Structure 1
């Protein structure tokens, strides 16, 4: 299959590119920078320098690549620019989908997240509605996701992967990542908020598998949603940070917001045959500890 991999130098894209090449796919991969393009060429891909906000350039890139499928892994999270990230989801996705329509590309696999659901007391399934909050900055995040998912669904074959919180190389939860830095500064508390995690390699493996999945949205998370009071101390120990403060310091009294509920991966496991190689963040965080001995 011929693939256009948009966002090939991001945390997931870096893991996904070699998987696609090893599987025998032809890959045209994009990066915003000249340095990224050079790195992609060295890794064996056809490299395209692309600004996803440039509609004409996106149209040319898709037409010239002539892919069988587009893999949308574009984000701006490395720079902590949430407004830019939401813009990528709105405008960048719109440009990719419109270009796909014009070029006759009928399949897309797109990156979403699994913590944009409405509130509840149990892990969210794909049948749970997206949050209709008006509170910022969450409202901007959810609106961007809604735009991304609705645009992707315009193509006849579309798979939206609602990833859990990513950890591992190139993420905020790497031994040298943002979260580890916050732990070392004593800024992260261990309260009741529930998260679902996912190793970045498992995210890439799911994207590869999704090329053959039927259309729809799928939660791609590990098997163990966990409260911060459970996972934060484990991560702190793994990265050699001091034990965190237990309980919230944000006025919630150690509670959680309704949307901090984690996500359920039953659909991925039972209907798609997907299994995370790290079934729990416990095993994955232990790997981080071996990479960064305390």
Structure 2
């Protein structure tokens, strides 16, 4: 198939390009930076420099590509983690999940795309109903005020994509990425890994929040499966081992050669970083990916972070 991949130069985008090309698909991959076009070309993609927040730029690029499938992997979640930059990255990502989603959908409809696959995430599953959620669970309807805009953007993306009637709309709720090219890897510029080595990524309160993680190559292979044979709706994409923060974070620190994570009381973190951080570290729910494995024939190289941290951080 001919596939238009928005966000092809991102953490997961590069892996998706490689896997799609290996399976014989033609990929037009977008980037915001002309300096990344050679890297995309080396992966086998036809690069396109696109401003995803400009509807004319998006429409022109999609029309030129004439794809059968559009894959939306646009985020702005990379770079230094100082407070000001994090706020900017989140605000930019919110726009990519709202405005850019709408631009891509309009452009896809204009050229008769038959399938649209988009990145959502599973960090804000509704905080009731047990430690692990399947696809019937909602995005949290009443999130902390300091993350309300980000959660609303996720909700907009999922509703817009799965609600289209002119094509097959698929939203993928990914667990937390780790592995090569992500912020949780052995690369010297991996931001979250640096914080863990510096013991600046603490266990908050009792660390009871359950997180689902996924190796980035497994997340990419699930995306390829959705491109090739997904049905309209939502799929969860994570490994088979959801676990509380107090369990997986010390193991990740050990794998990175770091000291054990510090423990901080929830009230202090609430003052320093806000309610949303406390919520994610103490109340988050994991996800089940049984639907993706059953319906997409998806298999994981790393079914658990326990082996992935040892063999797959890369």
Q: Which interval holds the TM-score relative to the shorter structure?
A: over 0.9
Residue 107 (structure 2) pairs with residue 110 (structure 1) = no
**Aligned equivalent of 1:180:** 193
Residue 26 (structure 2) pairs with residue 10 (structure 1) = no
Q: CA deviation at 1:216?
A: 1.0
Aligned pair in 2 of structure 1 residues 59, 266: CA closer, same or farther (>3 Å)? Answer: same
Aligned pair in 2 of structure 1 residues 238, 28: CA closer, same or farther (>3 Å)? Answer: same
* SS of equivalent to 2:225: helix
**Aligned equivalent of 2:172:** 161
Q: In the alignment, is the contact (CA less than 8 A) between 2:117 and 2:171 conserved in 1?
A: yes
Residue 302 (structure 2) pairs with residue 263 (structure 1) = no
- Aligned counterpart for 2:104 among listed residues 83, 96, 111: 96
Q: CA deviation at 1:126?
A: 0.8
Residues 180-224 of structure 1, C-alpha deviations (whole Å, 9 max, x = no match)? 212222222232221000000001101111111111101001001
**Aligned equivalent of 1:83:** 91
Aligned pair in 2 of structure 1 residues 59, 226: CA closer, same or farther (>3 Å)? Answer: same
Q: CA deviation at 1:259?
A: 4.6
Distance of 1:136 and 1:170 partners within structure 2: 31
Aligned pair in 2 of structure 1 residues 134, 235: CA closer, same or farther (>3 Å)? Answer: closer
* SS of equivalent to 2:40: helix
Residues 125-165 of structure 1, C-alpha deviations (whole Å, 9 max, x = no match)? 11111111252332111111111112212142122110000
* SS of equivalent to 1:77: coil
**Aligned equivalent of 1:50:** 50
- Aligned counterpart for 2:303 among listed residues 276, 279, 284: 279
TM-score by length of 1: 0.92
Aligned pair in 2 of structure 1 residues 220, 252: CA closer, same or farther (>3 Å)? Answer: farther
Distance of 1:5 and 1:139 partners within structure 2: 28
Structure 2 matches for 1:1-294, cutoff 5 A? 1-79=1-79, 80=86, 81-120=89-128, 121-153=130-162, 154=164, 155-175=166-186, 176=188, 177-190=190-203, 191-211=207-227, 212-245=229-262, 247-251=263-267, 259-288=283-312, 291=314
Moved over 4 A (4+): 255-259
Gaps of 5+ in 1: none
Q: In the alignment, is the contact (CA less than 8 A) between 2:225 and 2:297 conserved in 1?
A: no
Distance of 1:252 and 1:227 partners within structure 2: 20
Aligned pair in 2 of structure 1 residues 272, 156: CA closer, same or farther (>3 Å)? Answer: same
Q: CA deviation at 1:249?
A: 2.4
TM-score by length of 2: 0.87
**Higher helix fraction (1 or 2):** 2
Gaps of 5+ in 2: 80-85, 270-277
Aligned pair in 2 of structure 1 residues 148, 20: CA closer, same or farther (>3 Å)? Answer: same
* Segment of structure 1 superposing worse, 169-178 or 196-205: 169-178
Aligned pair in 2 of structure 1 residues 248, 276: CA closer, same or farther (>3 Å)? Answer: farther
Q: In the alignment, is the contact (CA less than 8 A) between 1:12 and 1:200 conserved in 2?
A: yes
